[in-house]
Structure 1
Amino acid sequence: MKALIVIDVQKDYFENGNFPLEGALQASEQTKKILENFRSLHLPVIHIQHISLQEEAIFFKPYTEGAEIHPNVKPIDGEIVITKYSPNSFIKTNLQKHLQKYEVNELVICGMMTHMCVDATVRAAKDFGYQCTLIADACATRELEFSGKKATAQEVQTAFLSALSYYYAEIKTTEEYLQANNK
């Protein structure tokens, strides 16, 4: 059985949010296409919503509009919403229980941020034995800096997707995934 995991597609990551990502709107539109496909096939959909409990947090604060799931991927009745408090969607959540309940062995993953929560969740999923497909254009990230050197959002995206493709996940575009799964 296959399930869709939609990670942290929340308002703070969009324009006018507290922590906007490059390409968030486009990624959410691609995620919506994958989501509609899963809904049409009556396959399990699990939304992950990050809430920051640290006092100094600047985004995803509890009970704020920015922490809400974006309207492009808003859950519908019957879809599971799991709240998490760390980057890895499996840590201190019931994600694994839900996947076991549905006898899931394959995950399709979309979401935000590619270099943080998506990366942590994909790696953990593989460690739990799931076959993972990560939808590259249904993910978004941001520019990063380390030791005075900057990497553009596109460079970060490329680096993390290429690292995950080596062992952890098959990387596909929305179009590639939908073409392969609508035959």
Structure 2
Amino acid sequence: MKRVLLVIDVQYEYFTGKMPVTYPEGSFENILKAVDAANRTQMGVILIRHEAPQKDAATFVKNSREWNILEELLKKEHLYIIDKKMPGSFTGTELEDLLKKMGIDTVVISGYMTQMCCDSTARQAVHLGFSVEFLSDATGTLDVSNYAGQITAKELHNAILVTQAMRFSKVISTADWIEGLNEK
């Protein structure tokens, strides 16, 4: 098994911008732990950065402070930064070709938001023939309310984890994932 850790959209928009992630508590710390573990075991780390494609976007505006990846994460060792404009990290990017050139067969999902970019990327990865590990506490979301209804961050996060575990991913805590790496 040759893995790569994808760190999806860990950008200021989710911390100091208009979409603060609230659940689960400690998700960013777990992302950093996962990156450190990946680096210790010489597993590649790829950072993904979202940019709003709309000209009048209110969030993820390219070159704004909120569009930037958190400095603490950027300081950690990583192979690439992949820019995307859609929720799925494979859509319109070089990610698939890059992973194939690296000989990757398993992607590890971390980052934001659980139900949007993390879920979409995991599903795309499965459709492309990759195995997926989904870090349950190194992904996160916020309360959502729109014309279709409302849902708490906890309910939304848990619903995606259950759905991922049904068909798409091995859902695992960061601590258990790191322990598995240390056993190899």
| TM-score, normalised relative to structure 1 | 0.93
2:171 paired residue number:
171
* Conserved? CA contact 1:34–1:174, under 8 Å: yes
2:73 paired residue number:
73
Indicate whether 1:101 and 2:91 are aligned.
no
Please provide the CA RMSD for this pair.
1.6
* One-letter amino acid matched to 2:162: S
Deviations 1:78-114 (A, max 9, x none): 5210000000100110001110111000111101011
Deviation, 1:151, is 1.0
* Conserved? CA contact 1:9–1:112, under 8 Å: yes
Deviation, 1:71, is 2.5
- CA distance in structure 2 between the aligned counterparts of 1:62 and 1:138, rounded to whole angstroms: 25
* Conserved? CA contact 2:111–2:140, under 8 Å: yes
Q: 1:124 to 1:75 in 2, by over 3 A?
A: farther
Equivalent pairs counted in the alignment come to 182
* One-letter amino acid matched to 1:10: Q
2:182 paired residue number:
182
Indicate whether 1:158 and 2:158 are aligned.
yes
2:4 paired residue number:
3
Q: Percent identity?
A: 28
1:83 paired residue number:
83
Q: Secondary structure at the match of 2:26?
A: helix
Deviation, 1:18, is 2.2
Deviation, 1:56, is 2.7
* One-letter amino acid matched to 1:13: Y
| TM-score, normalised relative to structure 2 | 0.93
* Conserved? CA contact 2:110–2:139, under 8 Å: yes
Mind listing any 5+ residue stretches in structure 1 that lack a counterpart? none
- CA distance in structure 2 between the aligned counterparts of 1:70 and 1:112, rounded to whole angstroms: 12
Deviation, 1:153, is 0.2
Deviation, 1:25, is 7.0
Mind listing any 5+ residue stretches in structure 2 that lack a counterpart? none
- CA distance in structure 2 between the aligned counterparts of 1:25 and 1:13, rounded to whole angstroms: 13
* One-letter amino acid matched to 2:9: D
